[in-house]
Amino acid sequence: MEFGQKKHQPPTNKTKILKSTLAESVDLDSRLEVNLSQIKERFKGSVDVAYREFSLGFDLNKKAGLIYIDGLVSSEITNTSILKPLMFELLQNEELKNMVQGNLVEKIKNCALPNSSVREAKTFQEVIDGILFGDTALLLDDFHTALLIGTRGWEARGVDEPVTEAVVRGPREGFTETIGVNTALLRRKIKNEELRIESLNLGRQTKTQVYIAYIAGIVNKKIVTEVKKRLQRIDIDAILESGYIEQLIEDAPTSIFPTIGNTEKPDILAAKLLEGRVGIFVDGTPFVLTVPYLLIEGFQSAEDYYSRPYYSTVLRMIRYTAFFISVLFPALYVALQSFHPEMIPTSLLISMAGAREGVPFPAYIEAFGMGVAFEIMREAGVRMPRPIGQSVSIVGSLVLGQAAVSAGIVSNPMVIVVALTAIAGFVVTALTDTMALMRLFFLFCAASLGFFGLLMGMLFINIHLMKLRSFGIPYLYPMAPMNFEELKDVFIRAPFWTRIFRPGLLSKNQVRGSSSKPSPSKNQRNEES
């Protein structure tokens, strides 16, 4: 390269943004054929884009064109609310027949189209975006303005009970893949004008609709501002599911603990919003994200609040017990078997030693191998067709477990430990993935240093949890920092009449209502006395 010759530089982000802005700002032409040819060029090779040219009913010389994507629009709405009024009913409208040319678009928009959603578009990009979102574009000859008419009518799954959050008592309805249906389900739960639902699009290629929902009179405004800031920072080509957003806005992406919650049930989302949280809807998925997310939410169930508090408290304690069993039981077994056999009662130790006779592997290899085998069977049961998957998981567990014991590869106590660990892991479904990773971590700690390693691992996890934040809220709240009022809904589920305050760090309006403790009436007390 000669001296002074400038080397070709690739376009910078600033240049790309400038070109994109210029492309989006190109105005529509006044000639219908030019506009149609430009849009056809943009959709070149797409056979599902439909074009319909016709003449307006009151003036055979006035041409118009419709553009829509087949499968995204309702053909019945297109025929009855667009083509029929413009091609036939305009013949009887004397006002439209005698109007001046400059008012044609406005008159058609306000007087000729019986549709609840009609808006104007002046650039090619606005028209194309509207078509891609399921609207029908109406282009008129001699006008620089197009009309985008709401005709969305694609096939969608109906509202039914979610599989991941089944309940015995409570609402059975769950969110769907259609974002409009999901917001309507939420509105049915919270009939309050302060429920705000704001919209934005994410993904350069997918332009996925994302809604932010919160209750203005309850939520902490700092949380809403932080949510918007993190969403607006997202720069990615595609958002196909809410999991994309979850991984891009979470506080601790390297942590095994989730700092963003998700739910498929409108009643659960409504309850979280009423506590001061923010919901994030993503079009195309039934899973709605909730922030901030605290550790105690993994042990709470919607059914706890639909049943009386006493049995709900027992169930909650069972969940905590199942969590510790699932996470620590294999590690405790390995530590006792390999490092601290003197802590096992003599009769039990003799029984365990007899069961392990002939097993060629140490206890930690047994535990690790059985854990991996269980995860393989669980994954196979989830991914295979449901009737076959259930059979494989049940029969596979029985056959493999019995065969492994008969062959002397593993011992009977280890099969019991792994089975109990697996069953306990399904009790706290919100933390299933976290428990599987913690189980391996504690198993490694116990296999290395016994109880000392186990205690060091627990200390490390506790320090990590205390450092975690979810959108500025401590992850262990209300246990750390301690809030005695909120402890009524942590390890127990206190009656509603004792819980008159919302979580202090989440909401600005902390008073739910006055105490309404149930009490017998005066007549009933007189009868009893």
The three-state DSSP-derived secondary structure of 76-113 is HHHHHHHHHHHHCHHHHCHHHHCCCHHHHHHHHHHHHC
Q: How crowded is residue 518: how many other Cβ atoms within 10 Å of its Cβ?
A: 7
Q: Which helix (H) or strand (E) segment is 347 a member of?
A: helix 346-355
Location of structure tokens 């501002």 = 225
Q: Which helix (H) or strand (E) segment is 369 a member of?
A: helix 363-383
Q: What is the pTM of this model?
A: 0.85
d(CA 382, CA 109): 51
190 and 119 co-located in one domain: no
Q: Is 6 within the bounds of a domain?
A: no
The last residue of a domain, from among 441, 474, 507: 474
The last residue of a domain, from among 474, 497, 515: 474
Q: What is the pLDDT of residue 13?
A: 44
Give the tokens for residue 113. Answer: 């189209």
Q: What is the pLDDT of residue 15?
A: 42
Q: Name the domain count of the chain.
A: 3
319 and 467 co-located in one domain: yes
Give strand pairing partners of 147.
120, 138
317 and 431 co-located in one domain: yes
d(CA 468, CA 433): 18
Q: How far is CA 16 from CA 7, 127, 205, 251, 420, in A?
A: 19, 21, 15, 30, 57
Are 244 and 164 contacting, i.e. CB atoms less than 8 angstroms apart?
no
Q: What is the pLDDT of residue 512?
A: 75
Q: What is the pLDDT of residue 389?
A: 62
Q: Is 302 within the bounds of a domain?
A: no
The b/e string for 231-261 (b: 16+ C-beta within 10 A; e otherwise) is beeeeeeebeebebbbebbbbeeeeebbbbb
Q: What is the pLDDT of residue 529?
A: 53
Residues in the chain: 529
286 and 323 co-located in one domain: no
The last residue of a domain, from among 474, 492, 507: 474
> Which amino acid, residue 242?
S
Give the tokens for residue 162. Answer: 């979610």
Q: What is the pLDDT of residue 353?
A: 84
Q: Is 62 within the bounds of a domain?
A: yes
79 and 132 co-located in one domain: yes
Q: Is 353 within the bounds of a domain?
A: yes
Q: Is 482 within the bounds of a domain?
A: no
99 and 197 co-located in one domain: no
330 and 241 co-located in one domain: no
Q: Is 414 within the bounds of a domain?
A: yes
Give strand pairing partners of 50.
68
d(CA 442, CA 457): 6
The b/e string for 478-493 (b: 16+ C-beta within 10 A; e otherwise) is bbeeebebbebbbebb
Which residues in the chain show pLDDT less than 70? 1-25, 58-60, 89-102, 386-398, 509, 513-516, 519-529
Q: How far is CA 90 from CA 41, 87, 106, in A?
A: 32, 7, 14
Q: Is 2 within the bounds of a domain?
A: no
Q: Which of 330, 315, 334 is nearest to 421 (CA)?
A: 330
Q: Is 17 within the bounds of a domain?
A: no
79 and 225 co-located in one domain: no
36 and 145 co-located in one domain: yes
| C-alpha dihedral, 262 to 265 to 269 to 271, nearest 10° | -130
Q: How far is CA 46 from CA 37, 82, 155, 195, in A?
A: 14, 23, 20, 40
Q: What is the pLDDT of residue 230?
A: 96
d(CA 412, CA 393): 19
Secondary structure letter of residue 158 according to DSSP: P
Q: What is the pLDDT of residue 470?
A: 94
193 and 133 co-located in one domain: no
Q: Which helix (H) or strand (E) segment is 312 a member of?
A: helix 309-338
d(CA 23, CA 18): 9
In which domain, by residue range, is 253 found? Answer: 179-293
Q: What is the pLDDT of residue 18?
A: 38
80 and 35 co-located in one domain: yes
223 and 269 co-located in one domain: yes
